[in-house]
Structure 1
C-alpha cells in the first residue's frame, strides 16, 4: 500500500472572554485531520501526520527525506509555513526551498495533492500565498491572485464531469453538498473530474513523471459538512485518490 506525508489541518484558537469589568483569555488547540486520516489508515494506507506547527520546522528539507513517501498531501497549511522555518525567520540561516523540493519530488514520479481551505491555494485574503510558487507550477490548476474563497452558506452540490476517472471508481453518483470552496482555473492539460458551479472541484494532472490532484474544498468542517464526512463515498474517494497519486491505480 501507499505511504504518504500529510501536513496541515490544525489550528490554535486564542479567545478573550469579557465579563463586565473583567476579562481573561483561554487557548485551545484543535486538529481537523482525524476524519480523513482515520479513513486512510483503516484502508491500509500508511500516514505520517505533521500538524501545521510541527511541519513549520520539521517538514522534509531534502529530497531524500521526501522520497520515503509515495505522495505528499497539503491541507489548510499556508506557504509561509514551508518558506519560513525558524532557522530562516529567527536566525537568518539559509535553508532548502521546500516548495521547490516538492516540485522535484513530483517531477521524479511521486504524487502531490492540495486540499482546500482558508489556508490552501490562495486562501483567505490571499494569505495562503501559493500563487506564483513552485507548488502552483505542479498543480493541475491556476490560482487566483487574491482571496479565492467562494462561500456557499446555502450549500452547493458538486457534479461529476469525468465518471471514468480512477479516483471515482465505484463511488455514488450523487455527491453531498459543500459550504464553500477555493476558486480555481484548470490548466489546459488538466482533467477536471468534478465541478461545482462550473469551477474545478476535483482536478487531476501530471508534472514530469508524477501525478497531482487539487481538491477545492475542505476534507472536514466547516466547508465539508457532516453530510460529506458520513457520505458512503468519503473513504473510497480519498483512498482511491491516494492510490492514484501513488501510481497504484
Structure 2
C-alpha cells in the first residue's frame, strides 16, 4: 500500500443569471477527484486529497513534509498555486520554494505523477506554466511554450505502445474514447507507453533516485467521459499501475 497525495481536481464555478433588467450570481463547488480516489483506494492505497483552493496554503513545503507520502499527484493545478503561498503573495515575505522541494524529493526517491487538464503542463493560455519551473526537468516529457491543449470533440482512442510495462497495470483491449489532452514532446531516455492523436498520453521516466510519470489527458470529465472514468475496468489498472510503479 502507498500513501498518495492528490493536489488539485476541484474548482469553484460562478454563474451570472440575467433576467431582463435584473441579474444575480450563483456559485458552486465541484470536486473531480472521486473517480481517481475510488480507483486507487480499490487497490489498497491511502489517498489524501488537497483541493485546489487549499493548495496555496497547504501544499507540503519541504522534504520532511513530502516524506509523509510515497507518490504526489498534480492534477489540474497550476504552478502558481504551488509557488505563491499566502505569505509570499499577500504579505511579500520569503517562503519555501515548494516546487524546488518537490524536485529534490523526487530526486531522492519520491514518485511524481502529473495528470492533464486546463491547468496542467503548460495549460490554458499557458497559465499552468510548469515549463518555467524547475519541475519541468523532472517530468519525462518536454512542455510547449504556448497553450498546449488539444480538444478532440469527436473523441480518440489511445494507442498503447508499451503494453507490458508494469506502469500500465496489465490493462488490455481497446481504451474508451478520450476528448482531449495536453500536447507534450517525449523527453530523450523516457518511455512512452501510450499515445493519443500521435502525441504522448502515458510516459514514464526517472529523475535521480526517483520516478516520474505523466497522463496527459484527464482523470475526470470533460476530457475523460463517463465510459472512461466510471465504467471501464481498465481505469483502475492504468492509474493503479502508474502509482505502484512510481512508488517502486
Equivalent runs, 1:113-192 vs 2, <5 Å? 113-192=113-192
Determine the C-alpha separation between the residues in 2 that align with 1:48 and 1:133: 25
- Contact 2:62/2:102 (<8 A) preserved: no
Q: Deviations 1:47-99 (Å, cap 9, x if unpaired)?
A: 11100111110101111000111110000001000111110111111011111
Q: Deviations 1:80-126 (Å, cap 9, x if unpaired)?
A: 00111110111111011111011000000110000000000000000
Residue equivalent to 1:246: 247
Secondary structure of the residue aligned to 1:131 is: helix
- More displaced stretch, 229-238 vs 6-15: 229-238
Secondary structure of the residue aligned to 2:30 is: strand
TM-score normalised to structure 1 length? 0.97
- Contact 2:142/2:184 (<8 A) preserved: yes
- Contact 2:106/2:207 (<8 A) preserved: yes
- Contact 1:172/1:232 (<8 A) preserved: no
Secondary structure of the residue aligned to 1:92 is: coil
- More displaced stretch, 162-171 vs 175-184: 162-171
Residue equivalent to 2:66: 66
Determine the C-alpha separation between the residues in 2 that align with 1:78 and 1:48: 19
Equivalent runs, 1:36-55 vs 2, <5 Å? 36-55=36-55
TM-score normalised to structure 2 length? 0.98
Q: Deviations 1:171-226 (Å, cap 9, x if unpaired)?
A: 12211110000000010111000001211000000000001001000000000011
Contiguous gaps of at least 5 residues in structure 1: none
Determine the C-alpha separation between the residues in 1 that align with 2:57 and 2:34: 21
Q: Deviations 1:146-192 (Å, cap 9, x if unpaired)?
A: 10000000101110011111022431221111000000001011100
Runs of 4+ in 1 over 4 A off after TM superposition: none
How many residues end up aligned between the 2 structures?
Answer: 247
Determine the C-alpha separation between the residues in 2 that align with 1:167 and 1:127: 29
Equivalent runs, 1:203-214 vs 2, <5 Å? 203-214=203-214
Secondary structure of the residue aligned to 1:105 is: helix
